[in-house]
Amino acid sequence: MNILTVIKQVPDSNAAIKVKGDASGIETAGLKQVCDPFDEFGVELAIQLREKRGDVEDIAVICLGGDKASEAMRTALAMGADRAIHINDPKFESMNELFAAYTIAEAIKKDEQNYDLIVCGKYNIDLDSGAVGPALAEFLDWPHVGAVTGLEIADDGKSFTARRRIEGAEEIVECTLPALLTIEKGLVEPRYPSLPNLMKAKKKPVQVLTSAELPGVEASTAGTHLDSMTPPPPRPECKMIEGEPEEMARELVRLLREEAKVV
């Protein structure tokens, strides 16, 4: 069994984000960036499948991004992936998830490896969107199961049973391989790469693909384009009401009627 995990480098959720206010998006200078936490679930799942089964021969990670995205790939390699594919070209720099999925799909089609399972995170925390996984499955014409919280692969490695949360219930899906899964939080707990493994990751192979290797991919196929990005307006100052309960109630009603004009 060969497994491919899709990862993305995103800003650290604890970092202060500065929005430029134009089509370039956010200020990246000095911004700490990490492998998306949901994508780490996918990498961990692939590694645990190797540890539990004897038929997982290759675990690869693929990432679309600039030079700094190599840091996210090194994290995945240090966790236990065997090799990485880095799609790195200024022509492919886009915040459009459908374009990213299309580009990754074209790279997978050119790969000599035949994959049995592709794993993605449920969504990415930067755009808070989950389009890459389902779109990638569509571009590859593969079946996919989203937001997986439980997974059992048959002993023969030809099918699986997945559990996923739906509103008010749990859904059980049976599917044949090859297939694509998007992983929900809670299925696995990503391991922390040890220092020796971080050092070993530097020697693992990383294949770099540019527009020269993917001539059929053009930015014009992105479909949508970012015109500008602006931060949300500042919240109005909170007004505190003091006094006895009856007085505060009357004052609240007055403010809602005269100032907020919602009553």
Pair 198, 259 in one domain: no
* Structural domain contains residue 228: no
Identify the DSSP state of 87. E
Residue 41's closest CA among 131, 133, 105, 104?
A: 133
Question: Using one digit for the tens of pLDDT, what is the confidence trace for 32-41?
Answer: 889 999 999 9
Pair 88, 196 in one domain: yes
Pair 251, 153 in one domain: no
Domain extent, residue 249, equals 233-263
- Say what the pLDDT of residue 32 is: 85
Pair 241, 183 in one domain: no
Pair 90, 167 in one domain: yes
Question: What is the 3 state secondary structure string of 165-183?
Answer: EECCEEEEEEEECCEEEEE
- E-only strand ranges, 77-143: 83-87, 117-121
Pair 53, 134 in one domain: yes
Question: Using one digit for the tens of pLDDT, what is the confidence trace for 129-178?
Answer: 889 999 999 999 999 999 999 999 999 999 999 999 888 899 999 999 99
- The dihedral region occupied by 147, where left means phi > 0, alpha psi between -120 and 50, and beta the remainder, is left
Average pLDDT, the chain: 89
SS3 18: coil
Total domain count for the chain? Answer: 2
Pair 207, 241 in one domain: no
- Please report the DSSP string for 201-216 in residue order: HTTS-EEEE-TTT-TT
- Say what the pLDDT of residue 222 is: 56
- Which stretches of the chain score pLDDT less than 50? none
Pair 193, 245 in one domain: no
Residue 42's closest CA among 12, 80, 70, 10?
A: 80
* Structural domain contains residue 227: no
Kindly report the CATH number assigned to the domain that includes residue 8: 3.40.50.620
- pTM (2 decimals)? 0.83
Pair 78, 170 in one domain: yes
